[in-house]
Amino acid sequence: MSLNPIIDLLGRRLRLAVIGGGEGSFIGAMHRQAARMDDRYDLVAGSLSSKPEKAMRDGLAIGLHENRIYSDAMKMIETEALLPDGADVIAIMTPNDSHYLYAAAALAKGFDVICDKPMTNTLEDAKALHRQVVESGHVFCLMHNYTGYPMVRQAREMVADGQLGIIRLVQIEYVQGGKADENDPDPSGTVPWRYDPVRGGPSLVMGDIGTHAHNLVRFVTGLEVSEVAAEAGTIVPGRLIHDFAGAMLRFNNGARGSFWVTQAAAGVENSLRIRVSGTKGTLEWLQEIPQSLVFKPLRGPAEIRTPNGPGTLPLAARSSRIVKGHPEGFHEAFANIYSDAAEAIAARIAGKKADPLVLFFPNSYDGLMGVRFVHKVIESSLADGKWVLCED
């Protein structure tokens, strides 16, 4: 592979501006590291906080020039659009309720956009944003980072290649323990935005991790959930937000599935696990050991597939930076999405067709499907768990 396909194509790196991600933000640091990992981007501008002092301090701390530091993100969008060396891309890593505002504004000014998930809080915003993206012809990349893992991509390719036959059964779980303690956060204290349904969306657990789980299933299987019967609720007393959701799934090819997400499983770290069974075999992947994809054929011994191991397919191969046996992790998966988006954006800027292999990153359609799924889960849950069509 080329040492740097962006420099090859454009003679320079892409210019990136960020909204959100100041000191104290977990996801902001992830975005910036992902942008640096493969050297596809120069970070040229940022609005890391809406508070002017904090915006300036944090912007300087990450090495931005003071002229390119903004506390008003909307002003950054307008200003950078006019600069001769202004940003090419806007990356949004703010609380969920502002994703739509910034993404729509950035697209309107001609920027490509990288946006954290969930895409929006409301279905209306999701539809409007997806329409705007399609009409704009610009790149919109949604940070469902788990789709960046080499072995998740290998799973997708094996399914698409027919190695599993017809998909019949899917299990997805995303179980965390971060919200298991009822004293954390203290309900009488300052509530972080995630605990506020207005800012964090209609279902915390679904927005936070349910959309990841749903997107992972769609990414690997290539199927859509056509019907869902669900319960989303609150298991830890004294909360306004959902901390678990269970569902049964029916897919558009007739396959069936089980869905379980919670952030209230005490002591569990980050158990995102998927199992996909087709007529010819089963795939199993667990995020906590991401370099192992277990393939259990209908006939023949179970196989442990690894990045760059035997049988690695092209998308998985280009998603790993290292020889087999050396683990990659969260940061590399995140960076794979950023780097693929970079190639798509650079191709658009250069007026060229992007390599089809770079176009597997989640986009606004994926975001729309995710937001709709959240709403359908809630709809079924409110209707005594009855089956609800995942249609508009």
- Find out whether 260 and 246 touch, Cβ atoms under 8 Å: yes
Other Cβ atoms less than 10 A from the Cβ of 181: the count is: 11
d(CA 204, CA 374): 10
Can you tell me which of 37, 81, 101, 354 binds a second copy, judged by CB under 8 A? 37
- Binding to a second copy by residue 55, rule CB under 8 A? no
Restricting to residues 365-384, name those near a second copy by CB under 8 A.
384
Restricting to residues 167-206, name those near a second copy by CB under 8 A.
168-169, 171, 173, 175-178, 180-182
Binding mask 214-253 for a second copy (x = CB under 8 A): ---------------xxx-x-xx-------x-xxx-----
Other Cβ atoms less than 10 A from the Cβ of 97: the count is: 18
C-alpha distances (whole Å) from 326 to each of 154, 265, 284 are: 17, 30, 20
Q: In the 8-state DSSP scheme, what is residue 209?
A: I
- Binding to a second copy by residue 262, rule CB under 8 A? yes
> For residues 176 and 364, which CB has a smaller minimum distance to a second copy in the complex?
176
User: Amino acid identity of 366?
Assistant: D
- Binding to a second copy by residue 116, rule CB under 8 A? no
Restricting to residues 126-155, name those near a second copy by CB under 8 A.
none
> For residues 184 and 355, which CB has a smaller minimum distance to a second copy in the complex?
184
Number of residues that bind a second copy (CB under 8 A): 103
- Of the candidates 295, 330, 293, the one whose C-alpha atom is nearest the C-alpha of residue 308 is 293
User: Amino acid identity of 182?
Assistant: E
Compute the Cα dihedral for 329, 7, 28, 136 and give only its sign: negative
Alpha-carbon torsion, ordered 307, 312, 314, 320, to 10 deg: 10
> For residues 29 and 160, which CB has a smaller minimum distance to a second copy in the complex?
29
> For residues 82 and 323, which CB has a smaller minimum distance to a second copy in the complex?
323
Task: Tell the residue number behind the tokens 């954006």, with chain if given.
Answer: 345
Report, in Å, the least distance between residue 244 CB and a second copy. 6
> For residues 137 and 237, which CB has a smaller minimum distance to a second copy in the complex?
237
Restricting to residues 271-330, name those near a second copy by CB under 8 A.
271, 275, 277-282, 287-291, 294-306, 309-311, 321-330
d(CA 124, CA 128): 6
Report, in Å, the least distance between residue 324 CB and a second copy. 5
Report, in Å, the least distance between residue 133 CB and a second copy. 28
Binding mask 59-98 for a second copy (x = CB under 8 A): -xxxx-----------------------------------
> For residues 107 and 236, which CB has a smaller minimum distance to a second copy in the complex?
236
Residue 325 Ramachandran class (φ > 0 left, ψ -120 to 50 alpha, else beta): left
Supply φ then ψ for residue 126, to 5 degrees: -60, -45
